[in-house]
Chains A and B, each alone.
Chain A
Amino acid sequence: KNQVEQSPQSLIILEGKNCTLQCNYTVSPFSNLRWYKQDTGRGPVSLTIMTFSENTKSNGRYTATLDADTKQSSLHITASQLSDSASYICVVSRFYSGGGADGLTFGKGTHLIIQP
Chain B
Amino acid sequence: DGGITQSPKYLFRKEGQNVTLSCEQNLNHDAMYWYRQDPGQGLRLIYYSQIVNDFQKGDIAEGYSVSREKKESFPLTVTSAQKNPTAFYLCASTPKVHGDRGTEAFFGQGTRLTVV
Contact = CB atoms under 8 A, between A and B. Distances in A.
Interface string A34-45: 100000011111
B110 interface: yes
B74 interface: no
A21 interface: no
A45, A97, A102 interface centre (most CB from chain B within 10 Å): A102
Interface residues on B, range: 20 to 34
B42 A109 contact: yes
A51 B99 CA distance: 12
B94, B102, B104 interface centre (most CB from chain A within 10 Å): B102
A91 B101 CA distance: 14
Contacts of B88: 41
Contact of B107 (A4, A32, A44, A51): A44
6 contacts: A31-B100, A32-B100, A51-B102, A91-B105, A99-B98, A101-B33
Interface of A: 4, 9, 31-32, 34, 41-46, 49, 51-52, 89, 91, 93, 95, 97-104, 106-109
